Amino acid sequence: MAELIVASIIVTFMMAAIFSVDYGLRKSGSNVSSEALINIQAQYLVNKIRMSVRSLHGSPSDTGVNIYLNNTNSSLCFRHDVQVSGAFTPEIYTDDNWTCFSKPGDLDQTAVYSCELTAVGTCTTGDTFEGYVVKDMFTHANIADPVLVADGATGEYYFQMTVVGRKTPSAGAAVSAGALTAGTTDNPQVSITFRENAGGY
């Protein structure tokens, strides 16, 4: 009888250990999967913005970049040359279109939309959904500000910014000492900083 009790206790401990390891592996796998998905989503948004920058239509005196950061309806807009009567008009800016990326709504809004406009403006939730960013992105100037800068060595212009995504974009994101708080094990975060040449110059 004693042997049966001891054997039962040993089996119980073994099963508990197996379940503990299995849970840990599943939890780890879930976090890795979440981080991979967040990275794909953030990279997709980055690539869309980079494509707009590459075809930017502007000059150092008239950049064709409009960066509007606010607590509501924040947007990044890039001007592009369009065909008029079957031909492009690189010397004329007034007939161009703008591609905008907007985070419409208040600080808790995390979805980014894109749209094509005839003038600088803000996309709405009825436009093309491009992905999610943490709730403080596009709203605070001290989170890797989106900016168009000149390279002093080459004279070329570049657009640079950071895109930050997380598993639950609206949860726990805050600005502290000029930086965005890090993600957690349960809410992993991905940050992508990029620099793209302003191709239309």
Q: Mean pLDDT, the chain, as a whole number?
A: 80
Measured CA to CA, the distance from residue 171 to residue 176 in angstroms comes to 15
pLDDT of residue 46: 94
pLDDT of residue 78: 96
pLDDT of residue 26: 47
What are 146's two structure tokens? 């989106």
Place of tokens 């005196």: 61
The low-confidence residues of the chain, meaning pLDDT below 50, are 6, 11, 13, 16-31
The model's pLDDT over 70-82, given as tens digits with 9 standing for 90+, comes to 767 789 999 999 8
Write out the E strands in the chain. Answer: 65-68, 74-80, 83-84, 87-88, 97-103, 111-117, 128-132, 147-150, 157-166, 175-176, 179-180, 189-197
Q: Are strands 147-150 and 157-166 parallel, antiparallel or unpaired?
A: antiparallel
pLDDT of residue 196: 93
* Domain boundary assignment for the chain: 2-197
DSSP codes of every residue in 45-56? HHHHHHHHHHT-
Does the model's pTM come out above 0.95? Answer: no
